[in-house]
Structure 1
Amino acid sequence: MNRAWTLSIATVLAVQAAGCASLAPRLASRPPACSDMTVQIYFEPDSAEVTDEGRAVISAAAAQAKTCKVDRVNVLGLADAAGAPQANLELSQRRAAAVTRTLTAQGLPTAQFEEAAAGQAGAVTASGDIRPLRRRVDVVLKLSAPR
């Protein structure tokens, strides 16, 4: 009786495994979901040059976005509070432009870009604390399913 019970369980497990295996190709070939995505590209101090790490983040985001309809791309350049406000605004503009160029080089549609710069606005809290890691560009990809 023990042997028959073991054989029955083995048969059930084999049937279940076969069923899962038949679903695997369909699940693996399913296109990724086209939902909005936000990525952050960080920069060295006083630099607007996209780093190797930044290019890797942009490349991965662009690859995922290429399977979707790109409705809009918001690119916002930021700077920390070190230095003069006008210089930080210009630096954040250069950072946003550098990321936009890198994104378009990856094949994203330029007509859908909205580029902005905040400089050091928001880099200091109401209590006077300087927010770290403001040497970045925030990219929001608004995506939808392809038509």
Structure 2
Amino acid sequence: MKSKLVSMVALLTLGACAGTPEAPADFDPSACYERSFDIYFERYEDQLNPAAREAIDTVQGQLRGCRIDNVRVLGLAGAAGGARENFDLSARRALYIAEYMEREPGWSRRNFQTVAAGEAGATTETGEVEPMRRVARISVHASDPSTPPPAAN
């Protein structure tokens, strides 16, 4: 019984530490600033390809040790197909990116905002199709963990 209790306390302690990102030995708080980048998808796809995962991993690596204040993921889709299908596709793209990013310690789901735009803005005023709408736009606001967190809105 005593060994089970000790094991349980150890697991709880590890779990409490899991949400804190471990700063690299050469951590520089000046690296903690807003980053924006795009993730591209194959036509009609919502799954992250290796290049997308690599781009996300690179940004998360650059921000390791920073406090992640908020993350906004905007999913987009092209004008081909129906409006509802395009909206659903853009929502899935945003959701899958958020799910992938939140696996990293310190990237809490409560700090994420996922937005789906569907095909809104996929054509110009003259009706021409905008290229490269198979994308999600990600904006990460990070700050020095030694400073007070921003006030909640």
Indicate whether the TM-score tops 0.5.
Answer: yes
Partner SS for 1:63:
helix
TM-score by length of 2: 0.74
Deviations 1:62-119 (A, max 9, x none): 1122221111000110001111111000000111111011101233221100111000
Q: Equivalences for 1:13-24 in 2 at 5 Å?
A: none
Q: Which amino acid aligns with 2:128?
A: D
**Alignment: residue pair count:** 119
Q: CA deviation at 1:33?
A: 2.0
1:65–1:30 distance in 2 versus 1, CA, 3 Å? closer
Q: Of Structure 1 and Structure 2, which has the larger fraction of its residues in helix?
A: 1
Q: Name the larger-Rg structure.
A: 1
Shift of the 95–126 alpha-carbon distance from structure 1 to 2, 3 Å rule, reads same
Query: Does the C-alpha gap of structure 1 residues 30 and 91 become closer, same or farther in structure 2, counting only changes over 3 Å?
Result: closer
Matched with 1:146 is 145
Please report the TM-score for the alignment, with normalisation by the length of structure 1. 0.77
CA distance in 2, matches of 1:84, 1:40: 24
Measured in 2, the distance between the counterparts of 1:30 and 1:50 equals 29
Q: Give 4+ residue runs of structure 1 displaced > 4 Å after superposition.
A: none
Task: Tell me whether 74-83 or 105-114 shows the greater mean CA deviation.
Answer: 105-114
Contact 2:66 2:142 in 1 (8 A): yes
**Kept in 1: contact 2:31–2:62 (CA 8 A):** no
- Identity of counterpart residues, as a percentage? 34
Tell me, what secondary structure is at the counterpart of 2:81?
coil
Query: What SS does the corresponding residue of 2:102 show, helix, strand or coil?
Result: helix
Q: How well do the aligned residues superpose, as a CA RMSD in angstroms?
A: 1.2
Q: Which runs of 5+ in 2 are unaligned?
A: 1-25, 147-153
